[in-house]
Amino acid sequence: MIRNWLFPIIIGLLAAALAWQGTLMATPYVLMSKAMEKVGGRAPVNSFGFGEPSTTDNQPIVRPSPDLSYSSCAFDLSKGPVLVDVEPVSGHYWSVSVFDARTDVAAVRSDRETGGKPVKLALKRFSQRVPRDYEPVQLDYNKGLVLIRILVSDKADYPQIDAIRRKARCRVADTK
Amino acid sequence: MKPWRRYSICILLGLAGGSAYAVHQVRSADLGRQVTNGPWSANTDNGTKDASALSRARVALFGLLALPAKEAMYFTARTDSEGAPLNGKCTYTVSGSELDARWWSITLYKGEGWLVKNAANLWSVAGNAPERDANGNWSFTVSPKKADGVWLPTGGTPQFDLTLRTYHPQGALLNNPSSAKLPTIKKESCA
């Protein structure tokens, strides 16, 4: 009796280990994919959407900060590299971060590094060529999210910040 | 019972059990507990290729799109400084001294990390909001009812957590977060 079940139980334990690791590994992709769908609803793929300030009625992504203004671009590199242009917002903390489909950060640039200059990033796969005046950011996946965070420490500043952030561009590069 | 049935039963039970255990592991934690400091816990490998599958899954669930530590350190507290779970019917004093970061804020969340409805529409306290005393110390109140001074409403939610965001952290906050001087959370009373 026990001998009849020994090997099936060993195989079952192996299946459990595989399912455990598989579920852990799949979770970031699934949640990132859902996030891209949600924020992608604000704007087409490869273009920026500009979120309103976070409130209880506006929480597209878990753990939003009500002190930050969020703008996001769901990108897809399957048609070529994607160029990202972000204008600086002087006097405020701001950053641009690039997340891949596995939620890893491929690049972060904030006002600490840019010295008041605009950020110009070219998101690319290994084999893709990008314009020389853009900083290349190599990704392991075609899809991901670019997120701009800007600190809104005084609500009176929001209209000015909003006008500047809307100058941000995210587009497939014309490499012809 | 035929052998293929025994194998099928064990494989199906294994797949279901393994997946269920992974979900339980991810959901039963919070943003991360690689580093603890009083009631606060934090991850140091957010968004990096070094993160384990479990750490990456937890961050995706409780703090998707978190920045790497060099850019921002996130500390989460689910208990007060005595270790009791944070309760939305209680009043707390959060106090501390200057934090070694460019900017910080403390935000109140429920569940996986959602802002809590409250009549005042207040969800966070920014680092520049509380007044400093002569030694640079500050404090504010977390409570269900309006309090004097800087106030963060609980909205009466049964349980909540506080997330301390520190942008461009330096010194111990970045390099040795388990020994950094972080705010204390003192329970004053409960309704």
For the stretch B155-184, pLDDT in tens is 999 999 999 999 999 999 999 999 999 999
Q: Which of A7, A11, A32 sits opposite B60 (nearest CB)?
A: A32
- Cβ of B152: how many Cβ atoms within 10 Å? 24
- With CB atoms and an 8 Å threshold, state whether A63 touches B71: no
CA A69 distance to own-chain centroid: 15
Q: How many Cα atoms within 13 Å fall on the side-chain side of residue A163?
A: 5
Q: Which of B19, B115, B117 sits opposite A54 (nearest CB)?
A: B115
- With CB atoms and an 8 Å threshold, state whether A24 touches B6: no
Where do we find the tokens 């603890």? B36
Could you list the residue range(s) of the whole structural domain that residue B4 is in?
Answer: 1-29
Which residues lie below 8 Å from residue B86, measured CB to CB, with a gap of 6+?
B77, B78, B79, B80, B92, B159, B160, B161, B162, B185
Query: Hey, where are the domains in chain A?
Result: 48-172
Residues B3 and B67 in one domain: no
Q: How many Cα atoms within 13 Å fall on the side-chain side of residue A113?
A: 12
Enumerate the residues of chain B whose CB falls inside 8 A of the CB of residue A12: 9-11, 13-14
**What ipTM was predicted for this assembly?**
0.87
Residues B36 and B24 in one domain: no
Residues B97 and B154 in one domain: yes
This prediction has a pTM of 0.89
Fold exhibited by the domain A48-172: Immunoglobulin-like (2.60.40)
pLDDT score of B46 more than 90: no
pLDDT score, position B27: 83
SS3 label, residue B72: strand
How many Å apart are CA A43 and CA A2, to the nearest integer? 60
Q: Which helix (H) or strand (E) holds B12?
A: helix B3-27
pLDDT score, position B26: 84
For the stretch B87-127, pLDDT in tens is 999 999 999 999 999 999 999 999 889 999 999 999 999 99
Enumerate the residues of chain B whose CB falls inside 8 A of the CB of residue A9: 10
Residues B98 and B156 in one domain: yes
Whether chain B has a CB inside 8 Å of the CB on A67: the answer is yes
Give CA separation, B13 vs A5, A20, A124, A173, B10, in Å: 13, 12, 42, 49, 5
- With CB atoms and an 8 Å threshold, state whether B128 touches A153: yes
Would you tell me the crossing angle of helices B3-27 and A2-40 to the nearest 10 degrees? 40
Task: Work out the minimum CA distance from A128 to partner chain B, whole angstroms.
Answer: 22
Residues B1 and B79 in one domain: no
Residues B20 and B85 in one domain: no
DSSP state of A80: S
Whether chain B has a CB inside 8 Å of the CB on A33: the answer is no
Residues B46 and B135 in one domain: yes
pLDDT score of A174 more than 70: yes
Q: Into how many domains does chain B fold?
A: 2
Q: Which of A8, A22, A66 sits opposite B124 (nearest CB)?
A: A66
Residues B135 and B108 in one domain: yes
pLDDT score, position B44: 83
pLDDT score, position B56: 86
Contact between B59 and B46 under an 8 Å Cβ cutoff? The reply is yes
pLDDT score, position A88: 94
Residues B151 and B138 in one domain: yes
SS3 label, residue A104: coil
DSSP state of B119: T
- With CB atoms and an 8 Å threshold, state whether A104 touches B47: yes
Residues B128 and B139 in one domain: yes
Q: Average per-residue pLDDT in chain B? A: 91
For the stretch A103-157, pLDDT in tens is 999 999 999 888 889 999 999 998 889 999 999 999 999 999 999 999 998 889 9
Backbone angles phi, psi at B9, to 5 degrees: -60, -45
Residues B25 and B39 in one domain: no
- With CB atoms and an 8 Å threshold, state whether A12 touches B53: no
Residues B4 and B64 in one domain: no
Residue B16: both structure tokens together: 């279901």
